[in-house]
Amino acid sequence: MRVLVIGAGALGGYYGARLVRAGGDVNFLVRAGRAEQLRRNGLQVVSPQGDFAVQPKIILANDLKETFDVVLVGVKSYSLDDAMAQFAPAVGAHTMILPILNGLKHVDALTARFGAAQVLGGLANVSAGLDADGRVVQFMANQTIVFGEIGGSLSERVLALETLLHVPGIDVRASEAIMQDMWEKFVQLSTLAGITCLMRASIGDILAVPNGEQSIFRLFAECCAVATASGFEPRAPFIEFDRKLFTTPDSPLKASMLRDIERGSVTEAEHILGDMANRARALGIDTPLLDLARAHVAAYEIGRQRAAS
């Protein structure tokens, strides 16, 4: 399969580089500045499993004329509209669009633009970011990608894509319940982003203060209630996994949303915290801690925009 990766940031850069290193036919759709950086330095990955670099094939939006078998979308939510306009020429009648963005709102946007038959559900669990030199830095040794038909079947195309992505450095799983998987990730991320941004601290530091653990799990309960009312009650293994995740002493874990705040960047707060809170309001669920976290990051965004102007 021919793969077009949208962007070469933390998500697209990590998974795309792994595919290139394994011999995959991969192109990266990037902006001119990032293209120049990649031509000069290659696509570099700093990983607990060993650092490496690949020389990627690069396409600029104006040069995109042909269709691809797979379009892997890993941009930030606030860049999705521009990205869709740019990669539209790559989408043919049989193209699979695999989004691995955070949250759920993007599924509706992609479906509205390209049609339900083109869009898969997907999620990624990788703790990574770009450093000042444009390298993809993997902070922890997790690198899962899960995807499937939104309707729930294990189709031939999904199984073929699973085979394609089964390369060193990617833990891949085709799912018959991708919307359940995505809702559980939505709950986990809303909890992690909400509490670490609200406290401006890692999970380990939050656990070390009075009522820290209780605050984490109050927010977790609020998000679980929204998922349950939406028809996707979190499953027992997920609850147990997150309970361990959020009670690990000295854990350095923090949301990428907090990393964005720390470097003064725009965040995905409304796509994650705002969307979860809006769904809660529509369902009549009270989420005071979630609302506070949303307001906290929204106030940061106002200050950031004022400073920029």
| DSSP string over 132-143 | TTS-EEEEEEEE
What's the pLDDT score for residue 263? 92
- With beta carbons less than 8 A apart as the criterion, state whether 86 and 63 touch: no
Q: What is the pLDDT of residue 179?
A: 96
What's residue 257's pLDDT? 94
pTM passes above 0.75: yes
Mean local confidence (pLDDT), 99-127:
94
- pLDDT class of 129 with cuts at 50, 70, 90: confident
Q: How confident is the model at residue 141 (pLDDT cuts 50, 70, 90)?
A: confident
Percent of the chain with pLDDT over 70: 100
**Annotated active-site residue in 76, 105, 185, 254:** 185
Average pLDDT score over residue span 221-244 = 98
Average pLDDT over residues 17-24: 97
User: DSSP secondary structure string, 182-241?
Assistant: HHHHHHHHHHHHHHHHHHTS-HHHHHTSTTHHHHHHHHHHHHHHHHHHTT-PPPHHHHHH
Q: Mean pLDDT throughout 255-272?
A: 94
Q: Average pLDDT of the chain? A: 96
Q: Provide the percentage of residues in the chain whose pLDDT is more than 90.
A: 94
Query: Does position 303 have pLDDT exceeding 90, yes or no?
Result: yes
- Listed in sequence order, the residues at least 6 apart from 219 whose beta carbon sits closer than 8 Å to its beta carbon are 190, 191, 194, 195, 289, 290, 293
pLDDT (average), residues 237-263: 95
> In this predicted model, what pLDDT tens digit does every residue of 24-49 receive, in sequence order?
999 999 999 999 999 999 999 999 99
Confidence of residue 142 (pLDDT cuts 50, 70, 90): confident
- Treating both helix axes as pointing N-terminal to C-terminal, what angle do 80-87 and 105-114 enclose, rounded to 10 degrees? 30
pLDDT band at 128 (very low <50, low <70, confident <90, very high): confident
How much is the average pLDDT of 132-154? Answer: 92
State residue 140's pLDDT score. Answer: 81
Residue 185 falls in the annotated catalytic set: yes
Segment 34-91, tens digit of pLDDT: 999 999 999 999 999 999 999 999 999 999 999 999 999 999 899 999 999 999 999 9
Task: Count other C-beta atoms under 10 Å from residue 159's C-beta.
Answer: 11
Residue 85: count of CB within 10 angstroms of its CB: 11
Q: What is the pLDDT of residue 121?
A: 97
CB atoms within 10 A of CB 309: 5
Give the model's pLDDT for residue 139: 86
